[in-house]
Amino acid sequence: MRTMTSPRLGLALLTVLALAGRGAGAQVDAPHQVQLSPKPLEKWDLIVPLEAWHPVGDTIDVGGIAFTFGAEGRRLLIDTDADGKPNVRTGSSREFVTLRGKDESGTRFAYSLRLRNTPTGWAWAPGSVMSGRLSGRQVRLIDRNGNGRYDDFGQDAIVIGAGTAASFLSRVINLGGDLFNFDVSADGRRVTIDGFEGETASIDVHDRFRGKANLIAAVFADGELSFNAADARRMLVPAGEYKFISGFARGGAETVHIGTGQMTTLELPAGADVKLEWGGPVRAEFDYTVHGNQLTVRPNVNFYGSFGEEYYTFQPNARSPKVIVKDKATGRVVQSGRFGGCCGGGFSAFKGKVPPGMEFEVTIEHNRSMFGDIRGVARGRRPEPIDR
C-alpha cells in the first residue's frame, strides 16, 4: 500500500540552502571502545523503525541456546533458563519474560521478550536493549530483527542520546553533532567508534515541517547508514542517497506514524544543507465502487503530506472522515455521511445510494488538529465487484 509511485515530488520541493563544499567530518580520534550491558525495558517506550513482531514458534535462539516454547490452551509455557523444564506460564494476552543463559564464551546474558497474543497466535518483539554510555551519551541497541545478535547493520536498531526514537543500526553514527564510524560485537557487549572521514551533508526536518506537531522520529537510510534526523535541528550525515523509512510525530494528545508513502529518494550530495519541506497540507486518497446504484467507499484512505510522505494510525482516532457525494452537473449534495465504527476496530465502509445515470463525484472531508482541514480526492472508481 505504501509504495513509491510518484516521481513528481523530487528535488523540486527541497530547499538547498547552501553548497558550502564542506568536506571531512569530525576530527579523527583514536578508536574508542565501551562496554554495553543488557537492560530490560518492561515499560517499552522506544519507537523502532518498521518494528517487527515475530511469530512465536517452538524455540527462540539467543546466545547459541534454543529456548523452548510450548502451548497450554491460550497460555505459553516457556523454559526461560534452558534447563529443559518449562518454568514460566504466561497470562492469556500479554507477558514480559527474560531468557537467561551463558553464551559460548561462558558469559552470562539476559534477553527479554515482549509477548502478545494476537488473532493469529502469539508474537514477540525484543523487550531489552544493550545499553551503555558513549562520550557521555546514552546508547541503546535493539535486536530489531530478533535473531539474538546486535550487529545486523541496516536491520537492527540504535537509539542515541536521551530520546526514545531509534534509527536502523548504522555504520556511521552522529554523536553530539560529530560523525563516527561505529562497530559492535554480535553479543552487543563491545562497541567501537572512531572519527569518520568523508563527504558530509546535513538535513533539517524540523524547520519547514508544516503541522502542529513535534517530530520525534524521522528515520532515513542509505544502505547500512541510518539516522534519526529528528534528533537534531540540523543533522550532519555522510553524503548519500537516502530513503525515508519511517517517522513519528506528537501534537498535544495526538500522535501519528509517518511512512514512506510516495516519497522519492532524498539526494544529499557532499556539502548539501537541506531543509525538508513536508507536513501539511495533507490530502486524502481513496477508492470507491458502484454496483447498480449502490455506492461503497471503503475506509482504507491514505493520507499524504506535501512531500509525498504518508500519515497513518492517527491516535486518538476521533471522528471518522466525512464522505460527500455531489451531482457533477449541479454541484448539489446527493449523499453525505461518515464511515462507521471507530476507535480500535478501525472504520467500516460508507454505503450510499446514487441516482441511476447521474454523473457524480465523491470527496472526503476530514480534520486533524495537527494538520487542520484535509481534503480527499478519489483515486477513481474501481471495477465493480463480482456479485455475492
Q: 44 to 83, contacts with Ca ion by CB under 5 A?
A: 79, 81, 83
Least separation, in Å, of the C-beta of 146 and Ca ion? Answer: 7
- Is-cis flag, bond preceding 383, omega within 30? no
State which amino acid sits at residue 360: F
Q: 349 to 388, contacts with Ca ion by CB under 5 A?
A: none
State which amino acid sits at residue 103: D
Q: Which is nearer to Ca ion, 156 or 309 (CB)?
A: 156
Q: Which is nearer to Ca ion, 87 or 293 (CB)?
A: 87
Least separation, in Å, of the C-beta of 65 and Ca ion? Answer: 12
Cell numbers 503530506 label which residue? 305
Total residues contacting Ca ion (rule CB under 5 A)?
11
Q: Which is nearer to Ca ion, 187 or 204 (CB)?
A: 187
- 3-state helix/strand/coil string of 175-211: ECCEEEEEEECCCCCEEEEEECCCCEEEEECCCCEEC
Rounded Cα gap, residues 162 and 102, in angstroms: 30
Q: Which is nearer to Ca ion, 83 or 104 (CB)?
A: 83
Least separation, in Å, of the C-beta of 74 and Ca ion? Answer: 21
Q: Phi-psi bin for 97: left (phi > 0), alpha (psi -120 to 50), beta?
A: beta
Least separation, in Å, of the C-beta of 148 and Ca ion? Answer: 7
State which amino acid sits at residue 346: G
Taking a C-beta distance cutoff of 8 angstroms, is the pair 172, 179 a contact?
A: yes
Least separation, in Å, of the C-beta of 66 and Ca ion? Answer: 13
Least separation, in Å, of the C-beta of 141 and Ca ion? Answer: 9
- One DSSP character per residue, 309-321 reads -EEEEEES--SPP
Least separation, in Å, of the C-beta of 112 and Ca ion? Answer: 15
Q: Which is nearer to Ca ion, 150 or 286 (CB)?
A: 150
Q: 76 to 115, contacts with Ca ion by CB under 5 A?
A: 79, 81, 83, 85, 87
- Please tell me the total number of residues recorded for the chain in this structure: 388
Q: Is the dihedral of CA 234, 237, 239, 240 positive or negative?
A: negative
Residue nearest to Ca ion (CB): 87
State which amino acid sits at residue 61: D
Q: Which is nearer to Ca ion, 40 or 271 (CB)?
A: 40
Rounded Cα gap, residues 364 and 302, in angstroms: 11
Q: Which is nearer to Ca ion, 45 or 83 (CB)?
A: 83
Q: 207 to 266, contacts with Ca ion by CB under 5 A?
A: none
Burial label, 55 (beta-carbon count in 10 A; 0-12, 13-18, 19+): exposed
Per CB under 5 A, 187 contacts Ca ion: no
Q: Which is nearer to Ca ion, 108 or 291 (CB)?
A: 108
Q: Which is nearer to Ca ion, 147 or 296 (CB)?
A: 147
Closest C-alpha among 258, 225, 254 to residue 242: 225
Residue window 138-167: x/- pattern of binding to Ca ion, with contact defined by CB under 5 A: -----x-x-x-x--x---x-----------
- Is-cis flag, bond preceding 40, omega within 30? no
By CB under 5 A, name the binding residues for Ca ion: 79, 81, 83, 85, 87, 143, 145, 147, 149, 152, 156
